[in-house]
Structure 1
Amino acid sequence: MAAMTFVAYLNSKGFIENIVNRIMPKRISERKLMFLVGVFAFIFSSISDNVTATLISLAVVLSLKLEAKKLIRYATLIIFAVNSGGVSLITGDVTTLMIFLDGKVTISNLLLLIGPAFVSVMLLAALLSIGLNGQLDFTKTKQKRIEKTDITIAVIFLSTVIATLTLSVLYSVPPLLTFLFGLSMMFLVAQFLMRKKDINKDMIDFIREIEYDTLLFFVGVLLLVGALKEVGMLSHFSDLYTIMAPEYANYLMGILSAGVDNVPLTAALLKADIVMTQQHWLSFTYATGVGGSMLIIGSAAGIIAMSKVKELTFMNYLRLSFYLLICYTVGYTGSYLMAGFV
């Protein structure tokens, strides 16, 4: 909620759009844009929610008026990059946060997933850019002046994310406390800086712009999972781990999360009390975070992209599933190997 409040403020002020507009060059090759979009979606989804990261990344691509086949490629990369960017930070993905709060992984261990996740995104960008040799002209809108207040809020946001990671690793400070402290600082500083301005909106109003439907969805899912545990249904999820080794079971669970939402799947396994090493839990974190990218309906980013890009249908996305499977496999293998250094 705290992260979404920060993003809601910066987005409503046009700060994020302004930054993107300043960074993008006037002319860029289609191949270079593919990698640039992948990097942007990966980084931005790490510090904000997947919904916002997907919408902003798609807005950049849609403004270029690309032909349908190329637009589908860019949208596919955004979905995979957004899901990959969130797995290494508790601010970026709900399943990562759930596994962390259950004590299965630590923040310092999660940082090991950044490398494999980023490599898999770059690999997908390379595969999807095959055959893209054209040049694109980026039409820039009139640059707006960035207010000092907005810059200050952005600095507080980034400082909060860095402090959350640092304090948790060094002093085991609960991330909840750090983020709520950062949110409090945002309210205090913004109210002070805007005290003399004639504004019709209080800072507290930005909390109302949060996608509460998304948060309530997660609450509902967790309640259902708790009910399933009480009637003994969750025990069946652990059967797969009795048939095969955890590293292979986790890989299949990631792919399964594309058909079954990753949040209830993660909650189910946590409730089932499956015994795994931290290396296996880290690879499971990657699998459930990125595995939903295998199908367009497997993640919130995919659903949003399908609603915004008319050309992106279930079958069109499925045609690129081989590329996605290759990159998911590379990322999962890398995450399992990196987790071995824990």
Structure 2
Amino acid sequence: MNDWHSWAAIAVFICTYALIISEKIHRVAAALGGAGLMLAIGATDDVSAFYSEESGVDWNVIFLLMGMMMIVGVLKKTGLFEYLAIWAVKRARAKPFRVMAMLMVITAVASALLDNVTTVLLIAPVTLLVCERLGLPSAPFLIAEVLASNIGGTATLVGDPPNIIIASRAGLTFNDFLIHLAPLSAILIVVLIAMCRFLFRKTFVYDEERAAEIMELDEREAIKHPRLLIQGLIVLTLVVAGFVLHPVLHFEPSVVALLGSGLLVAVSKVETGDVLKEVEWPTLAFFAGLFVMIGGLIHTGVIKEVSNALADAIGGNEAGGSMVLLGASAALSGIVDNIPYVATMGPITHDLVNQMGGAPDHVMWWALALGADLGGNATAIGASANVVVLGIAERNRQRITFWEFTKYGLIVTAVTVVISAGWIWLRYFALA
């Protein structure tokens, strides 16, 4: 990295990241300012920032979010989320920890079938209503669900975008992920629920009076527009089917989400302007700025240098190398978005696997997937789902700060990565 652009890009990224952490200015302003500086110093250019698949804005993520936000905006008008909130609380007998555990399991399972961003977009409104009904702070519940979504998304090929990249590079199938990662994901969810019982113990205050009021409610009365609900659920079902059938249809999730949102707006009588008001525009702007900044690091070769150094450290040692790859991927994915990181590490891991004479389902691929997916829990901007939930919380005046999320995320990441290291060692070396 002798080029001054590389060092300037690193300086811009570190300063911007420090501003986001300090919260001296709004994270959207920091990200857009950092993106502007990357363009100004020549670390990237307009073509690389806006058109490059490797180092530009990931428009698939942006339009996936926009499309799903529009669908969720329509469903909010039907009363569906109020219905689900009352139903969930009644099934959990209004006990706060039971409610949290139920929502976490639902989130984890849904994240394995959908992508984790779509899942939190659907679950967050329900959570806000549940907490309002029970008189509880929503931040612990939202944080717990994001952590569960990132862990649940680890289980399948479609659960987290890095998994799709890894599957394409390694030639892995949906069943390969189920066999190798789904059992571990289930174990980690159980561990997470147990940890949340301790981490958020001060939150679980049972209000007998509120509980009694909710138990007397009829959730069916919450549905305000049955016709619109049916239309919305049909479209949502089609969208989910489109996500699951991605390997067959070859439609990107963003295309499916945009088709679904367009269809729902067209067939319903909801005003387009009202639907667009439900889109979290600041969140989308934050993502765009973040992508441009990370693109500057890719364009100048910074991430490539880091990846090459990691490859040199691994060498031909399978056991030690898998542990290094797991830990380094977790650490780096908490700082930069795991999508460009995995895209950069994919070819390098492929070469390492070939040098080791490994099969397509070699342990190195699972170490990369686990590190990238679980590392996303480490910080408030480590994964797309984290940023989305922080945006939803802020819009509903339930702001979650960077450190409020990160202090829990770091603990969960450390524990889950250590357990994953033990899983890798036992399954692929000790018991192989």
Tell me the secondary structure at the aligned position of residue 28 of structure 1.
Answer: coil
Q: Go from structure 1 to structure 2 and tell me whether the alpha carbon gap of 1:316 and 1:24 turns closer, same or farther (over 3 Å shift).
A: closer
Q: Go from structure 1 to structure 2 and tell me whether the alpha carbon gap of 1:270 and 1:222 turns closer, same or farther (over 3 Å shift).
A: farther
Provide the residue aligned with 1:16 in structure 2: 81
Task: Pick from 194, 214, 238 the counterpart of residue 308 of structure 2.
Answer: 238
Contact preservation (8 Å) 1:50, 1:82 = yes
2:101 maps to amino acid: F
Aligned counterparts of 1:35 and 1:226: Cα–Cα separation in 2: 38
Tell me the secondary structure at the aligned position of residue 256 of structure 1.
Answer: helix
Provide the residue aligned with 1:107 in structure 2: 174
**Residue 79 (str. 1) matches residue 146 (str. 2):** yes
Deviations 1:240-298 (A, max 9, x none): 13213134312331133223333443343247675345443344223212212123453
Q: Go from structure 1 to structure 2 and tell me whether the alpha carbon gap of 1:188 and 1:259 turns closer, same or farther (over 3 Å shift).
A: closer
CA deviation after TM superposition for structure 1 residue 227, in Å:
5.2
CA deviation after TM superposition for structure 1 residue 219, in Å:
5.8
Deviations 1:22-63 (A, max 9, x none): 333073223322311211332444535265256325414531
Tell me the secondary structure at the aligned position of residue 334 of structure 2.
Answer: coil
Provide the residue aligned with 1:292 in structure 2: 376
Contact preservation (8 Å) 1:251, 1:287 = yes
**Residue 326 (str. 1) matches residue 390 (str. 2):** no
Bigger Cα displacement from structure 2, 142-151 vs 304-313 = 304-313
2:403 maps to amino acid: F
**Residue 157 (str. 1) matches residue 239 (str. 2):** no
**Residue 256 (str. 1) matches residue 326 (str. 2):** no
Contact preservation (8 Å) 1:254, 1:290 = yes
1:329 maps to amino acid: V
Number of equivalences: 327
Aligned counterparts of 2:427 and 2:276: Cα–Cα separation in 1: 38
Aligned counterparts of 2:281 and 2:347: Cα–Cα separation in 1: 25
Aligned counterparts of 1:50 and 1:99: Cα–Cα separation in 2: 21
TM-score by length of structure 2 reads 0.59
Q: Go from structure 1 to structure 2 and tell me whether the alpha carbon gap of 1:78 and 1:185 turns closer, same or farther (over 3 Å shift).
A: closer
Provide the residue aligned with 2:121 in structure 1: 52
Provide the residue aligned with 2:52 in structure 1: none
Q: Which has the larger radius of gyration?
A: 2
Q: Which structure 2 residues correspond to residues 159-238 of structure 1 after superposition, within 5 A?
A: 159-162=238-241, 164-166=243-245, 168=247, 172-176=248-252, 180=255, 184=259, 187=262, 191=266, 194=268, 199=269, 201-202=271-272, 206=275, 210-211=279-280, 214=283, 228-233=297-302, 234-238=304-308
Tell me the secondary structure at the aligned position of residue 24 of structure 1.
Answer: helix
Provide the residue aligned with 2:57 in structure 1: none
CA deviation after TM superposition for structure 1 residue 310, in Å:
5.2
TM-score by length of structure 1 reads 0.72
Provide the residue aligned with 1:62 in structure 2: 131
Bigger Cα displacement from structure 2, 20-29 vs 301-310 = 301-310
Tell me the secondary structure at the aligned position of residue 331 of structure 2.
Answer: helix
Q: Go from structure 1 to structure 2 and tell me whether the alpha carbon gap of 1:15 and 1:337 turns closer, same or farther (over 3 Å shift).
A: farther
Contact preservation (8 Å) 2:107, 2:120 = no
Provide the residue aligned with 1:118 in structure 2: 186
Aligned counterparts of 1:37 and 1:164: Cα–Cα separation in 2: 22
Aligned counterparts of 1:185 and 1:301: Cα–Cα separation in 2: 20
Task: Pick from 62, 80, 98 the counterpart of residue 32 of structure 1.
Answer: 98
Q: Go from structure 1 to structure 2 and tell me whether the alpha carbon gap of 1:294 and 1:227 turns closer, same or farther (over 3 Å shift).
A: closer
Q: Go from structure 1 to structure 2 and tell me whether the alpha carbon gap of 1:209 and 1:119 turns closer, same or farther (over 3 Å shift).
A: same
Q: Go from structure 1 to structure 2 and tell me whether the alpha carbon gap of 1:207 and 1:126 turns closer, same or farther (over 3 Å shift).
A: same
Aligned counterparts of 2:365 and 2:165: Cα–Cα separation in 1: 12
Aligned counterparts of 2:249 and 2:370: Cα–Cα separation in 1: 24
Contact preservation (8 Å) 1:258, 1:297 = yes
Task: Pick from 251, 269, 273 the counterpart of residue 345 of structure 2.
Answer: 269
**Residue 135 (str. 1) matches residue 206 (str. 2):** yes
The structure in which a higher percent of residues are helix is: 2
Aligned counterparts of 1:102 and 1:325: Cα–Cα separation in 2: 27
Q: Go from structure 1 to structure 2 and tell me whether the alpha carbon gap of 1:174 and 1:313 turns closer, same or farther (over 3 Å shift).
A: closer
2:184 maps to amino acid: P
CA deviation after TM superposition for structure 1 residue 80, in Å:
0.8
Tell me the secondary structure at the aligned position of residue 260 of structure 1.
Answer: coil
Aligned counterparts of 1:159 and 1:339: Cα–Cα separation in 2: 39
Bigger Cα displacement from structure 2, 228-237 vs 214-223 = 214-223
1:30 maps to amino acid: P
Aligned counterparts of 1:316 and 1:163: Cα–Cα separation in 2: 32
1:117 maps to amino acid: S
Q: Go from structure 1 to structure 2 and tell me whether the alpha carbon gap of 1:238 and 1:250 turns closer, same or farther (over 3 Å shift).
A: farther
Deviations 1:61-84 (A, max 9, x none): 531223x7xx66534422311222
Aligned counterparts of 1:114 and 1:158: Cα–Cα separation in 2: 24
Gaps in structure 1 of 5+ consecutive residues: none
1:125 maps to amino acid: I
2:330 maps to amino acid: G
Aligned counterparts of 1:185 and 1:53: Cα–Cα separation in 2: 15
Contact preservation (8 Å) 1:57, 1:78 = no
Aligned counterparts of 1:104 and 1:288: Cα–Cα separation in 2: 18
Q: Go from structure 1 to structure 2 and tell me whether the alpha carbon gap of 1:254 and 1:75 turns closer, same or farther (over 3 Å shift).
A: same
